[in-house]
Amino acid sequence: MSQTKTVVAINGDGIGREIVAAARRIVDAAVTKDNITIEWVEKKAGGEAIDAYGEPLPAETIKACETADAVLLGAVGGPQWDDVAPSIRPEKAILGLRKALGLFCNLRPVRIFKALQDYSPLKPELVQNVDFVIVRELTGGIYFGEREEAEGEGPNELAWDKETYHRYEVERIMDVAIETAAKRRGKITSVDKANVLASSRLWRKIAQEKAAANPEIDMDYLYVDNTAMQLVVNPGQFDVIVTTNLFGDILSDEGAVVSGSLGLLPSASIGTGTALYEPIHGSAPDIAGRGIANPLGTILSAAMMCRYSLNAPKAADAIEAAVEKALEAGYRTGDIYKDGMQRVDTNGMTAAVLQYI
């Protein structure tokens, strides 16, 4: 008898539908190794939900996520919703889900795939050993602080956003960073702007307390501007980077591009409720509906889902190994295509991975 796990699939917008469909095929095939069957529950969020219900995150979607074993999300947003009111932008769906599910931590592993080593915009010798995880705080800081949209006239027209951090928010994200580092090389870089921001000074004080209480961890402290520079000068130095919501958003895009494979990078958002898995890249409206999107970021996110939420470690390992093999065999979607490689579309890449599962 196999065990059934419930996963909410949120396609979202743009290429979301295509890449989630690809990942579902892979997961269904892989989880048989752990004697698991998936019951997929499709729910809407983002632009698609705005069109269907007039709101980006219907209560029904939240409810389904709350009771599921995991959530797999494609991507949300697109130009057709650029002019909707700020309160119902498609991005509100993902922010609302993070808050509703208590997903205070976003894990973004950045590594170099051997087959793609020469895809980084950095010199090959700089990126050979790149293998780090960004631990981004996800339900606090300026993303969720008070704000006022622009008001007033002329030069005095004013808008503002407030950055706040409570001690408990910093402590729990530091705990995840420490746990993550303990399973890796034991090194943490805590990133802040403590030379200017009060919230960063609290952040750093708590990071230092945690470092003192966990002597097996080697913690250092960098300002965010310096970190942005170090990421292109010497990205191999990092093991675990722990940082605030806004800094983590910015640094994770930089980290992704350093790896040369933005389309391949997965993420897991974890916390107190059901965890959510999604690729780092966006909804790529320019290529949506053409069946050519790279599904590997979503497929690798689904591998993280198997490992952390579905108790399917064999499936997770099998998916990650199959992706490596497909890349080594030369299969490439358009975004990572180079001369001499085997150009495939979304279905072709999915089939290529599937054959190695």
What residues form the annotated binding site? 78-91, 98, 108, 136, 225, 249, 253, 282-294
Does 249 participate in binding Mn ion (rule CB under 5 A)? yes
State the CB neighbour count (10 A cutoff) for residue 196: 10
Residue/partner pairs of 208-216 with CB below 8 Å, 24 or more apart = 210/171, 210/174, 210/175, 210/178, 214/178, 216/182, 216/186
Tell me the two tokens of residue 147: 């704000």
CB of 253 to Mn ion, least distance (A): 6
| Residues contributing to the annotated binding site for substrate | 98, 108, 136, 225
339 in catalytic set: no
162 in catalytic set: no
Please say which residue, 91 or 209, places its beta carbon nearer to ligand IPM: 91
Would you say 255 and 136 are in contact if contact means Cβ atoms under 8 Å apart? no
Catalog residues that contact ligand IPM under the rule CB under 6 A.
Answer: 91, 94-95, 249
| Residues contributing to the annotated binding site for Mg(2+) | 225, 249, 253
Please say which residue, 18 or 249, places its beta carbon nearer to ligand IPM: 249
For residues 300 and 197, give the distance between their C-alpha atoms in angstroms, rounded to a whole number: 36
119 in catalytic set: no
For residues 327 and 329, give the distance between their C-alpha atoms in angstroms, rounded to a whole number: 5
118 in catalytic set: no
Among ligand IPM, Mn ion, none, partner that 94 touches (CB below 5 to 8 angstroms by kind): ligand IPM
Does 278 participate in binding Mn ion (rule CB under 5 A)? no
For residues 180 and 177, give the distance between their C-alpha atoms in angstroms, rounded to a whole number: 5
Please say which residue, 83 or 216, places its beta carbon nearer to ligand IPM: 83
List 6's β-bridge partners, or say none. Answer: 39
For residues 62 and 8, give the distance between their C-alpha atoms in angstroms, rounded to a whole number: 10
Among Mn ion, ligand IPM, none, partner that 91 touches (CB below 5 to 8 angstroms by kind): ligand IPM
Residue tagged active-site, from 92, 193, 277, 331 = 193
345 in catalytic set: no
Catalytic residue annotation: 143, 193, 225, 249, 253
